[in-house]
Amino acid sequence: MKPDEFRSTLRGDKPPANLPPLLQALWWEAKGDWNRAHQIAQDIESRDAAWVHAYLHRKEGDASNAGYWYRQAGKPHCRIETEVEWLDIVHHMLSK
Q: Check: CB of residue 58 under 8 Å from CB of residue 66.
A: yes
DSSP 8-state assignment for residue 1: -
Residue 10 forms part of a structural domain? no
The model's pLDDT over 19-75, given as tens digits with 9 standing for 90+, comes to 999 999 999 999 999 999 999 999 999 999 999 999 999 999 999 999 999 999 999
The model's pLDDT over 61-95, given as tens digits with 9 standing for 90+, comes to 999 999 999 999 999 999 999 999 999 999 999 99
Residue 27: burial class (beta carbons within 10 Å; 0-12, 13-18, 19+): buried
pTM given for the model: 0.95
Rounded distance between C-alpha atoms, residue 29 and residue 21, angstroms: 12
Name the residue range of residue 51's domain.
21-94
Residue type, 70: Y
Residue 26 forms part of a structural domain? yes
* Number of independent structural domains in the chain: 1
Q: Percentages helix, strand, coil for the chain, rounded to the nearest 5? A: 70, 0, 30
Residue 7 forms part of a structural domain? no
Residue 90 sits in a domain whose CATH number is: 1.25.40
Residue 1 forms part of a structural domain? no
